[in-house]
């Protein structure tokens, strides 16, 4: 199970944003350490979307000590140390590396996010079991609290989302439909008297475009129908058989 904790947030909107990201990516257990007041009419609930119905009202106020006793704790920071001389913020993992390391491990884990501007303090990070940091531009690597939480939870989705909104796979036309479309293009080349010497190349060009696009059954059928009609309606001038 993966929980989320927010330590010392000042802005109710950020707590709501994090609750929303949790619900978007299948998490439900939210812990708040030293939280701002969360007015049901205020920004926290305003930013929480549907998480205002469950994640946010069910959030538990607690202490960092309770969290470190109960969970494998992962502190988050934008500002890491550069090398092993300082080890409060080093070594760290990226969110993707964290996901990979948790994939086959059974442990209750809590991802801990710090306050706005300064994030988690050194003495808070010091008691975490490990540290995660989002790779970002060195010109401005500090994400907003709510945005950072969204990225980390997005990256962990494989471990937390039971079922996605998307269908399992994109439908692709089967090979006979693709072949039919390519043949129809060949028939069109014939119908418009495309120069004999160029037909083979043009057919291959079309096949490659279609091949890269992986058309759906509907796309292949519709395009084939249009090419067929274009071929049937074509009345090319006799001279058109010569090289142009």
**Consecutive H or E run containing 96:** helix 95-102
Smallest CA-to-CA distance from 73 within 34, 23, 125, 24 is with: 125
Binding of a second copy by 105 (CB under 8 A): no
Binding of a second copy by 127 (CB under 8 A): no
DSSP state letter for 224:
H
x/- string (CB under 8 A) for a second copy, residues 199-228?
---------------x-xxxx---------
Q: How far is the CB of 191 from a second copy (least distance, A)?
A: 27
Determine how β-strand 130-132 pairs with β-strand 30-33. unpaired
List binders of a second copy among 136-195 (CB under 8 A): 136-144, 146-147, 150-151, 154, 157, 161-167, 170-171
Look at the block and give the residue holding tokens 């039919």.
180
Q: Which is nearer to a second copy, 94 or 193 (CB)?
A: 94
Binding of a second copy by 77 (CB under 8 A): no
> Listing from the earlier edge strand, what are the strands of the sheet with 30-33?
60-61, 30-33, 2-7, 109-113, 72-76, 130-132
Binding of a second copy by 63 (CB under 8 A): no
Determine how β-strand 109-113 pairs with β-strand 2-7. parallel
Instruction: Candidates 15-23, 31-39, 174-182, 197-205: pick the segment binding a second copy (CB under 8 A).
Output: 15-23
Contact partners, residue 211, CB within 8 Å, separation at least 6: 178
Q: Please identify which residue in 3, 20, 73, 181 interacts with a second copy, judged by CB under 8 A.
A: 20
Instruction: Candidates 61-69, 87-95, 178-186, 188-196: pick the segment binding a second copy (CB under 8 A).
Output: 87-95
Q: Which is nearer to a second copy, 122 or 241 (CB)?
A: 122
């Amino acid at each position: 199970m993966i929980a989320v904790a927010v330590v010392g947030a000042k802005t109710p909107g950020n707590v709501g944003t994090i609750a929303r990201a949790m619900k978007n990516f299948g998490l439900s257990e939210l812990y708040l350490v030293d939280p701002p007041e969360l007015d049901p009419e205020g920004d926290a609930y305003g930013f929480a979307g549907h998480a205002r119905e469950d994640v946010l009202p069910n959030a538990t106020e607690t202490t960092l000590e309770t969290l470190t006793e109960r969970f494998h704790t992962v502190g988050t920071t934008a500002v890491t140390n550069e090398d092993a001389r300082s080890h409060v913020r080093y070594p760290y993992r990226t969110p993707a590396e964290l996901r990979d390391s948790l994939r086959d491990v059974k442990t209750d884990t809590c991802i801990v996010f710090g306050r706005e501007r300064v994030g988690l303090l050194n003495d808070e990070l010091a008691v975490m079991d490990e540290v995660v940091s989002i790779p970002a531009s060195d010109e401005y690597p500090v994400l907003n609290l709510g945005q950072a939480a969204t990225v980390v939870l997005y990256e962990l989705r494989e471990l937390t989302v039971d079922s996605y909104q998307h269908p399992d796979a994109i439908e692709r036309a089967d090979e006979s439909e693709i072949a039919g479309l390519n043949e129809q293009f060949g028939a069109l080349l014939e119908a418009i008297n495309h120069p004999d010497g160029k037909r083979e190349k043009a057919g291959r060009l079309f096949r490659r475009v279609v091949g890269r696009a992986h058309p759906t059954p509907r796309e292949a059928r519709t395009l084939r129908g249009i090419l067929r009609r274009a071929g049937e309606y074509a009345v090319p001038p006799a001279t058109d058989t010569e090289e142009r």
